[in-house]
Amino acid sequence: ELSGRLESTVKNLSGQGKIRESNISEALREVKRALLEADVHFRVVREFVAQVKEKALGEEVLSSVTPAQQFVKIVHDELVVLMGGAHRDIRFENNQQTRIVMAGLQGSGKTTQTAKLALHFRKNGGHRPLMVACDVHRPAAIDQLETLGKSLGIDVYSERGSSAEDIAEHAMEYARKKDYSLLIFDTAGRLHIDESMMQELRNVHAIANPHEVFFVADAMTGQDAVNVAQEFHEAVTCTGFILSKMDGDARGGAALSINNVTGVPLCYLGVGEKPDALEPFYPDRMASRILGMGDVVSLVEKAESVVDLEESKKLEKKLRRNQFTLQDFLDQLRKVQKMGSITDLLGMLPGVGGKLKGIDVDPKAIKHVEAIILSMTPAEREKPKILNASRRRRIARGSGRTVQEVNRLMRQFEDMKKMMKQMNRMSRKKGGVSGAM
């Protein structure tokens, strides 16, 4: 955890009035290394470290926090600045149609994020979105958008055999007649930048006269994304960018770099293939995440969104009385599955993240867990503590799983119990009713 490493590398400053270079040089190296590891461009890193150093040096050491914490805070605040300061949302004008043009290379995630944005703004703000299929170069591209539209109940404007420009123009007319409040133009991308693609994009841009141009970057492409972003920005002046595939093991450093190099703010993160896997980007939360301080706010919010309040109150009571059973565990696992990637969520949680990384929530794994739990007697499910070695062997045989799997399940059960207690505490602090999953 970076914040921990930083704290331990900041030399003891007590009794000194100011932070000095010798106190923080090791910590600065640590910051530098962490950012480079996260795939942040080296020039951005160099500038950033210089900035932090300048801020830190000569800073009066406060008495209320440790100097090390103070240093971590400086790094945190500078990270927030580096990532654009505040969250930047789309500006919707009252009663006016808003138009968005998507831009980016092929495979970056434009079509997927088009659907995500449409869904997001239908849910948040009650917009009436129309998705416009302007990618006429890949035969399957129009089908892909239509299929997404159909499954989400979002209208798609498409034509076969027309140019992207004609489609854009006709979509504008259609939307005026039918009173759509939000138009999102999905466009074509190539594997590499080429001039005819850029020209087509400029043409669609001119016709749509958009309020927003979102450049979609694949987080997995790392530094390359920065150069590509810059070229698109020169062609159509992007107003924001979306980093897709942040659910993979992308290190996300490109996010910091694109913003820094182009000045275009990161607005949304794509965190999965499903249409609801879109998150507004909050620089302060991301800074906390990079520092490993735990993205408590978005964790709790996310948890709350899938929680049935009544049920979670019951659960909280059970946890307090230590009556949380394996049956509850199974129910929770099924819910966690709905939330998406648990490792992502847990990674945000300070302290418990690492321990729980092993929990698998793919449907097959849950079936296995189910088989194990259903092989237990009701008494065992209520009080897993009574499971000794021979009963574990019997359960393994009964469920067709291995003893190791049974043992792992028991460990995960205990870990989840701990984690849920912690989440309950957090959400109580936050003032919510309950954040249990």
User: Which spans of this chain sit near Mg ion (rule: CB under 5 A)?
Assistant: 110-111, 141
Among 10, 24, 45, 109, binds ligand GDP (CB under 6 A): 109
Q: What is the DSSP string of 309-324?
A: HHHHHHHHHHHHTT--
Measured distance CA(132)–CA(178) in Å, rounded: 14
**Options 229-237, 264-272, 279-287, 306-314: segment touching ligand GDP (CB under 6 A):** 264-272
| Closest CB to Mg ion among residues 167, 409 | 167
Q: How many residues bind ligand GDP (CB under 6 A)?
A: 18
Residue whose entry in the numeric block shows the structure tokens 């993205």: 295
- Mode of pairing for the β-strands spanning 182-186 and 98-103: parallel
Q: Is there binding between residue 54 and ligand GDP (CB under 6 A)?
A: no
Q: Is there binding between residue 341 and ligand GDP (CB under 6 A)?
A: no
* Contact pattern for ligand GDP over residues 271 through 290, marking x by CB under 6 A: xxx---x-------------
For 268, the token pair is: 């949304």
**Options 5-13, 110-118, 390-398, 424-432: segment touching ligand GDP (CB under 6 A):** 110-118
The listed partner (Mg ion, ligand GDP, none) that binds 273, CB under 5 to 8 Å by sort, is: ligand GDP
What's the closest the beta carbon of residue 340 comes to ligand GDP, in angstroms? 10
Provide the sign of the torsion angle of the four alpha carbons 40, 43, 47, 52, taken in this order.
positive
| Closest CB to ligand GDP among residues 111, 332 | 111
What's the closest the beta carbon of residue 136 comes to Mg ion, in angstroms? 11
What's the closest the beta carbon of residue 104 comes to Mg ion, in angstroms? 9
What's the closest the beta carbon of residue 270 comes to ligand GDP, in angstroms? 3
CA-CA distances (angstroms) from residue 219 to 104, 106, 243, 275, 430? Answer: 12, 14, 6, 18, 31
Residue pair 84/265 in contact (Cβ under 8 Å)? The answer is yes
The listed partner (ligand GDP, Mg ion, none) that binds 432, CB under 5 to 8 Å by sort, is: none
Q: Is there binding between residue 353 and ligand GDP (CB under 6 A)?
A: no
Helix (H, G, I), strand (E, B) or coil at 208: helix
The listed partner (Mg ion, ligand GDP, none) that binds 5, CB under 5 to 8 Å by sort, is: none
Q: Is there binding between residue 158 and ligand GDP (CB under 6 A)?
A: no
Report the site for ligand GDP in 175-214 (rule: CB under 6 A): 189
Measured distance CA(107)–CA(248) in Å, rounded: 15
First to last CA, the chain: 25
What's the closest the beta carbon of residue 277 comes to ligand GDP, in angstroms? 6
Residue count of the chain: 437
Measured distance CA(146)–CA(131) in Å, rounded: 9
Residue pair 212/90 in contact (Cβ under 8 Å)? The answer is yes
Q: Which residues contact 355 (CB under 8 A, 6 or more apart)?
A: 415
When CB distances to ligand GDP are compared, the closest residue is 270
The candidate with the shortest Cα–Cα distance to 99, out of 181, 164, 188, 176, is: 181
Measured distance CA(10)–CA(28) in Å, rounded: 9
| Closest CB to ligand GDP among residues 191, 389 | 191
Residue ranges in contact with ligand GDP by CB under 6 A: 104, 106-112, 189, 244-245, 247-248, 270-273, 277
